[in-house]
Structures are given as structure tokens and as C-alpha cells.
Chain A
């Protein structure tokens, strides 16, 4: 029994565990998703969207959905080293996808703001959750179906109209396998009402070096005039698998910024999709991926311009070392109604080693005529002439290389709004690539 059958079998165990909750609205969603999963096959390289990413190593293992395992316990002291610090934040901690109220610190939220665990809030206020959950993201492949079939816990942020949450919300997703191979299935929901503002730092970290699989779905709804920042920093352990689908829906005059910084994971796949469902919306995607060893990092972005007068801007940069492989696929669709669209996209990659590879595919599909769209992709290596220039001024080679790497990454790092976060990410870049560190400019 492998892959799909295994998850279907496990589903029955999960259903038994639910007891009283099996009547809830979430269970309807689960059953439907389970039906989809039994119809769907996991994607292969023959599927255009997965052409460059082979998921068969993931399917070789039977991961046990976290709900059917014992969730390990951590102390506040133990999790400290995983956190971003030196600034004020609300903290939520999820271990293998399950909320830990002991480790979380949420204080003084503005009135009406709901921040917490999906499991808890869906019980307390099912009406509120049912209004949004599984409405924004559609099941597109077996991984989405698998996440939805086990929908139980995850992050919930609901900001009512006219409220700005001042402190960013740091969410630590700590994952670990102890005795068995664990499958974490967090389901996140971020809802920003009209004229509201919220910033979330999604911090995915791995504990230990045992293999686990993290399969995430994040739904984001940005109502009129709202501003949402989602900054994802992913540093799972190097053996783990990480797949996330982000689906955002934006209403008119809203702004959505997505930052995606990838360090960890053996196979990483991010699908980041936005539907620009109102006029004058603005979307920014910034991505930075550092890979070494045999890492495989695949970023798929999709911006769907459905309404006129919208703007999207995308900048993804990659640094690939050793035998790592990078994949970038950026799709922009401009629908027939979406006149006066401005869409920009950039993907730049540098290869630091002979055996690193990159497959990039920026893709534009345009059905409106009054638009300005452009995309660019470059692949190269560290410029020898620049390196020579630096070295001729007495800088050692390794440091010169680091300076060039830092300069390359700067375009993305600079867009992050939280200063201390910038510094810590900067440190992580050199740490991950095993290179001499260049201090972040203050």
C-alpha cells in the first residue's frame, strides 16, 4: 500500500478519531476532498505544471498524517532559536501543523481581530470560518486535495473592516519526525476586511534532521482598500519535503505583498497565485531562493489580471550552488476585461557551481490590448570582471564572492519592511551557502 491508498486508508482512522466533530461543516469539505483525491493521481513529469519537478521521491514514503501521530512537545526555551527577534510581534506556534497555545504569545489585539487556531475557532464560531474556508482556493492537484481532506488546524487571522494590526504576527511552523514519518497539513486563512491592514511572518522551520513532509494550503482574502503583507521564510531541515499553495483573492484598491525566502527542504514547491478581482489592485511578489547540496526548489507563480487598471510586479532571484536545481515558472494572464493593466516580472538566477541547474519559464498570456506587460529572465554566474575589480583592491576572493552574492540578493532583501528581519535573513543566506558573511547595512 503506497501513496494515495495509504492516505485514503489513514483517512478512516482520522474520521474515527473525530468523534463528535464529524458532523461539522469541515467534515463535508473533507469528504468531498477525499473523493477528489481518490480520482486524482499525483502529478508526474508528464504534467506541464510539474515538468521539471519529480515528486516520486515524496511518494515513495508513506507519511502518516500528523493527526494520527503523537504531537511532540517543546518548551519555550527550545523554540527560541527558531524565532525572528529584536522586534515586537504576536507569536503563534504550530507543531507539525497543530496549534500550541502554551508556546504562543498573543497580547492586546485590536477589538474584533481574531488570531488563532483553525481547530479552535471553527468550533467556537463555525459560521465565521465557513464563510471563508475552502472558498478561495480550489483543488488543482492531488497535493491540494490531500491537504483539504485533512483540513483541521492551521493559522486563522481575521481582521475586521477599518482595523490595522500594528505588530506583525509571527507564525512559527515547527516540524519534526520522531518515531514515524510525519505529514503536516496546516491550513491557513488570512482575511483582511475593508480598509484593514495586517502583516504576517510565516516562519517554517525544521527540528532535527529526520525526514518529514509539510503540505500546506494558505488562503488569503484582501478586501477593498486593505493591505496584507505575507512574508514566508522557509528553513525546513534539509531532508524534508515542502509543498505550499497560496491562493489570494484581491478586491478593488487592495494591496498584497508576498515575500518568499527559501532556504531549506530537499524538494520544495511553492504555488503562489493571486486573483486580481477588483480594479486598481496592486500585487507584489518578491522571491529569493538559495539552494545547495541536492536541493530542488520550484516556484510557480500565477497572477490573474481579471479586472482593469491593476498593477502587478514580480521579482524572483535565485542563487544555486552544488548540485541543486531551481525551477521558476511565472504565469501572468491578462483577461479580456483587464484593460490598462501593468504587469512586470523578473527572474534572475546565478549558478555558483558547475552542476547546478535552472529551468525557468516566464509566461505571458494576454487577451486585452491596452496593456503594458513585460518579463525578463536571466541566468548567469558571478561576474569575473566585478570579482577582479574587488580583488584588485585587496579583498580576498571568498569575501569578494560574498560581496557579489550579497549585492545580488539585495534587490529582494531591501523590499522587506522589518529591519531586524532583513538582518536575520541576510545572516541566514551566508550561513546556508557556507560563505563568508557580509554584514547587513544598517
Chain B
């Protein structure tokens, strides 16, 4: 035992420099913390049928929508809060949350000049100046500020192609037949506790419809912001790609610093028909709480896509660096023959963060294929879990899956866990799963040091190399941001 201690001491001295840098790197504070001062209208705390009716009325929703919400709420009341995940947090008091918050209604805007300058400033801080993007990058932005869409750009040019890109509340009014057909068809309100809650109280979100044979000419993007203190945000996104359509959708998030934990229970539904493809990319860097684990966002999200048509494809890419607790499994239901599901994920946890994330690939159709690449990085005292399900149904002849999940550990108080479930009911299927866990390579750091690269840059390089497979799946703008984010969440001011 003594021997060991000596050894430990010795080696700890040797690597103490490295450790110091690693320590500096891993103990930085959240950079994107600021609160925008905009008058907002917030509902009283608590949840009952009246609150739901109020939300529905505020949004001028038709009767069927109100009924749907109420049905979901009644169902939710009967459900129990799930506890099976590998994350720990104090019990949420669902009656202590305000379920609606919207910037005060203003006259409808026609151009960006009419948008509240405060709001524009927020976007600028986030690095998405609307004008610039409009002019230079050709990205249409449906900016969701707290819960209500404020400005939508490029609508006209999308309209020409027959693409619908608007808020869900607008879609409810203007395209009720589409919303009725698809809303809740992938994630029904009976699906799980948080999906039911979301269905009952969802405030707004994005609705995208790409008609038959149309390839969306630009990347669609929504920036979500959680702003008013203590309001949970319940977004609902629905994307439908008809036969032969293609769309790439970007979702990025930041939120200001605050101490009260916030609940975020979003639902994302994707529907893909024959030969169509949806590429869904997320960068999530919400407030993770401080070093002691105080504050931070609870991110309990249900994301699911249904490949309903032949040769359809869904690709999820996510970079998760924020939130105190992340609990989500973007999934693909591969119903159509020859459909393809992909999941690329980087999840970084630091300090006291906890993440339980992964994917589900449900192979139902023949010759369906799925690829899962998951990279987890845990630093500080955080815990990072991969939980995935690969299910090959009885009729999924010739289904193929490849899964790779790698974890990297920084610091001896962090944890990395893998819980892959593989269920195969068809003998012609081929399923492969590989997972590795290791420390950030001391020899790799040494090699780079030796070539005159400072430890912090070396760590940065190693981490970026580790995540490269996932980053290369991200759209260009996002890839750059994701690398920066990773550097920030692990390296603070150094990177």
C-alpha cells in the first residue's frame, strides 16, 4: 500500500504541470451569461386545466388544439415521473413552474428594422446577426425568443418553392390539415412523462414542411433562447419531408446565467417519406450550472424521427456541452425498406454536469441501415452516460447496424458509463457494437509538448481529433462553432 502511495505521489508530481493546465482548462465559467431586459408576459406558477386553456387562448388556437392539449394533460396526471436514468437531481415541483412566457405582443413586423433593438443585440452576442446572415450566408432564421417567434426571414423565397417554415402556432392557424396529420404522430402524448407534459403546455416551436421533390435551398436554423427567469420552455418542433424532399435543419441554444434550475422539456418530431432526407443538427450550450453544481438547465428532450418511406434517411448530429442535466435520446424508427438512420454525437460534461444520452434505432423495414457514433468527454466531477438501443425487428431482413461509442476521461473524479441495449430478432441482421473508455493520452500530450505545443493546445487538438468523426457531419458554420464551444467548455479562457 505504501509503495503505491509513493508511486502515486511521484507520478502526481511529474504530471502536476499537466494537471494544473487541465484543471485550469476544466474550471472555466460560462461565457454566454447575460439577461436581456425585455418586458415579458408570464403566466402565474402552477399547472391545471385553466392554465392550459389560458395558453391555448393566448395563442388563439382552434378548439381541436385545446382539446388535444387537455387530453395530454389528463393523461400526464396519471403518469409517474421516470427515475430509471443515470442522473440525479432534486425532485421537480411541477406546480412551481410558470408555463407561459412571451414578449408582450407587438404589431406584426415586416423587416428586421422593426425588431426590438434589445433583441437584436442578444442575437448579436450569440453570434447570429440576422442582417448579416440574411445578406451573406443565405440562412433563414426563425428566431425563437423564449417562446414566441418574433422574426422570420427568407420566408418569401422559401414560399416560392412551396416550403413552409414558420412557428407551430402559425402553422396551427394556417395549415391545420398538416398539423393535424403529423403533430403527435411520431411522439404521441402517451409516449412518456415529459412528452405528455410538453403536449399539454407547449408554447411554440418551429414547423417545417418540404413538399414533394423539393430540395430546400438553404439550411434552416432556429436559435432557441431561454430568457425570462424561472420559466420552463416547452418547445415543439415538427419537420415533414415529403417524397424526394431534402432539408438540413440547425438548432442551437444558449441561455443566460441564473441560479434556479430550469426545466426544458422539448419534443422534436421528424417525418420522412419515400426518398426524402432530413438532416438535423444541434449545438446545445445552455447554462450548465456553476462549479458547485448550483443552477443550470434540466434538458429532458424527446426527439424522434420516423423514416416512413422507402430509401428515406434521417441524420441526427448533436454537440452537447451545456445543461446541468441532459437526458435525451434522438431516435429513428426505420419503417421504410432501405431507410437509413444516423446518429453522431459529442457530449461534453464538466464540473457537476450529468448527461444520459444516446439513441434508439428501431429497424422495422427490410435492408434498413443505421450508424451510431457517440463520443463522450467527462471532466471535473461530471458523469457522462451513453444509453442506446438497437432493435432489429422480426421482419427487418438484412438490417445492418454499426455502433461506436468512445469515452474520454479527464480528471479522476469524473465518470463515463455505457449502457447499450441490443435486441435482435432476425437472423439475417448484422449488428456491431464497439465501445472504449480511456484517459486523455499522456503520451499524446507528451508527444505534442515535445514538438513545442503547449499543453492546453495539445489537449484542444487531442479532443478535436477525438470528436472529428462527428464534427465532419455538422454543417460548416456549426462545425466552427462547435469546435469553439468545445474549447470553451473544457478550456475556458485558454483556448
Contact = CB atoms under 8 A, between A and B. Distances in A.
Interface of A: 48, 279, 308, 336, 339, 349, 351-381
B414 interface: yes
Contacts of A380: 429-431
7 nearest A-B pairs in the assembled complex, by CB-CB distance? A351-B427, A369-B409, A377-B433, A379-B431, A374-B436, A373-B437, A369-B412
B439 A369 contact: yes
7 contacts: A355-B425, A357-B423, A358-B423, A362-B418, A364-B418, A369-B439, A373-B436
For B409, B413, B427, the residue with the greatest tally of chain A CB atoms inside 10 Å of its CB is B427
A396 B421 CA distance: 37
A359 B428 contact: no
A357 B434 CA distance: 20
Contact of A356 (B412, B427, B430): B427
A370 B18 CA distance: 14
Contacts of B433: 360, 362, 375-378
Given A371-B438, A377-B431, A379-B430, A362 B420 contact: yes
Interface string B49-63: 000000000000000
Given A363-B417, A365-B415, A367-B415, 7 more contacts: A279-B4, A357-B423, A372-B437, A374-B435, A377-B420, A377-B433, A379-B430
B407 interface: yes
A352 B430 CA distance: 13
A422 to B, nearest CB: 28
B386 to A, nearest CB: 9
A388 B419 CA distance: 37
B422 interface: yes
A128 to B, nearest CB: 29
Interface string B391-422: 01010000000000001011111111111111
A368 to B, nearest CB: 6
Nearest to B423: A359
Contacts of B4: 279, 308
Given A356-B427, A365-B415, A379 B422 contact: yes
Contacts of A308: 4
Given A378-B432, A380-B429, A351 B424 contact: yes
Contact of A369 (B392, B414, B432, B434): B414
Contacts of A378: 430-433
A362 B435 contact: yes
A360 B422 contact: yes
Nearest to A375: B435
A366 B434 contact: no
Nearest to A350: B427
Contacts of A354: 426-427
Nearest to A372: B438
A378 B431 CA distance: 5
A372 B421 CA distance: 22
Contacts of B426: 351, 354
B118 to A, nearest CB: 44
A172 B84 CA distance: 42
Main secondary structure of the interface of A (DSSP, over half): strand
Contacts of B421: 359-361
A217 B439 CA distance: 37
Given A48-B84, A371-B438, A366 B432 contact: no
Interface string B23-53: 0000000000000000000000000000000
B460 to A, nearest CB: 18
Interface residues on B, range: 35 or more
A339 B8 CA distance: 10
Contacts of B407: 364, 366
B436 A358 contact: no
A351 B430 CA distance: 10
A360 B416 CA distance: 20
B418 A363 contact: yes
A374 B432 CA distance: 14
Nearest to B430: A380
A308 B427 CA distance: 41
A408 to B, nearest CB: 14
Contacts of A369: 409-412, 414, 439
Contacts of B417: 363-366
A373 B439 CA distance: 10
A361 B422 contact: yes
Given A357-B424, A369-B414, A380-B431, A363 B419 contact: yes
Contacts of B409: 366, 368-369, 371
Contacts of B413: 336
A356 B423 CA distance: 11
B428 A381 contact: yes
B422 A370 contact: no
A358 B424 contact: yes
A381 B412 contact: no
A368 B412 CA distance: 5
Nearest to A351: B427
A58 to B, nearest CB: 22
Contacts of B424: 349, 351, 357-360, 379
A202 B209 CA distance: 64
A152 to B, nearest CB: 39
A306 B236 CA distance: 45
A304 to B, nearest CB: 14
A248 B154 CA distance: 66
A366 B423 contact: no
Nearest to B427: A351
A370 B15 CA distance: 13
Nearest to B406: A374
A370 B412 contact: yes
A377 B430 CA distance: 11
Interface in B47-95: 84
B437 A374 contact: yes
Contacts of B425: 355, 357
B380 to A, nearest CB: 11
A401 to B, nearest CB: 13
Contacts of B438: 371-373
Given A361-B419, A366-B407, A381 B437 contact: no
A371 B439 contact: yes
A375 B418 contact: yes
Nearest to A333: B417
A387 B429 CA distance: 17
A384 to B, nearest CB: 10
A360 B433 CA distance: 10
B439 A377 contact: no
Contacts of A372: 436-438
Contacts of A351: 424, 426-427, 429
A431 B423 CA distance: 28
Contacts of A379: 392, 422, 424, 429-431
Given A359-B422, A363-B420, A364-B417, A371 B431 contact: no
A336 to B, nearest CB: 7
A203 to B, nearest CB: 31
Contacts of A371: 409, 437-439
A361 B420 contact: yes
A190 B413 CA distance: 36
Contacts of B434: 374-376
B83 to A, nearest CB: 12
B462 to A, nearest CB: 14
Contacts of B439: 369-371
Contact of B422 (A336, A358, A366, A374): A358
A338 to B, nearest CB: 11
B433 to A, nearest CB: 4
B417 to A, nearest CB: 5
Nearest to B407: A366
B125 to A, nearest CB: 35
B419 A366 contact: no
Contacts of B414: 369
B375 to A, nearest CB: 14
B402 to A, nearest CB: 10
A365 B437 CA distance: 10
B428 A376 contact: no
